[in-house]
């Protein structure tokens, strides 16, 4: 059973997925820091208050809609960044596909026919 698990875990797709999850988590932290530490304070100066402090009280219950708005902005920025990265990858793959492929190597029959042709020319 250990061999089967090792074979499963070492398959290319699983390893690629693990790397993607780790890099995605780190990327998410970077974007969250950008939103929380740079973008939201700048927007807070425009609206006169930080987004996180925006609340509404309904029947004695505080609804923190500012935190919700901040999460939406965070999501939109992460989605836009991922979109840009994927578009760049697709563009690179498209260029690779458009590159002319090298002609296939001649078969033994073709080589033999070329030799016969060259001999007949002489």
The rounded percent of the chain whose pLDDT value lies above 90 is: 7
Q: What are phi and psi of 99, to 5 degrees?
A: -65, 135
- The domain tally of the chain equals 1
pLDDT of residue 12: 64
| CATH label of the domain that carries residue 78 | 1.10.1200.120
In this prediction, residues 59-86 reach a mean pLDDT of 86
**Domain containing residue 68:** 2-121
pLDDT at position 99 over 70: no
Q: Considering only CA atoms, which of 86, 55, 88 is closest in space to residue 69?
A: 55
Spatial separation of the C-alpha atoms in residues 87 and 93, rounded to whole Å: 10
- Average pLDDT (56-80) is 87
φ/ψ of 62, rounded to 5, equals: -85, 120
Q: What is the pLDDT of residues 22-35, one digit of tens each?
A: 888 888 888 888 87
């Amino acid at each position: 059973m250990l061999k089967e698990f090792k074979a499963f875990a070492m398959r290319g797709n699983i390893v690629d997925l693990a790397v993607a999850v780790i890099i995605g988590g780190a990327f998410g932290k970077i974007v969250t820091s950008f939103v929380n530490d740079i973008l939201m304070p700048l927007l807070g100066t425009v609206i006169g208050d930080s987004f996180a402090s925006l609340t509404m009280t309904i029947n004695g219950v505080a609804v923190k809609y500012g935190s919700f708005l901040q999460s939406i902005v965070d999501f939109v920025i992460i989605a836009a960044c991922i979109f840009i990265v994927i578009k760049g990858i697709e563009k690179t793959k498209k260029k690779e596909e458009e590159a002319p492929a090298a002609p296939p190597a001649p078969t033994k029959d073709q080589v033999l026919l070329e030799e016969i042709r060259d001999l007949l020319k002489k």
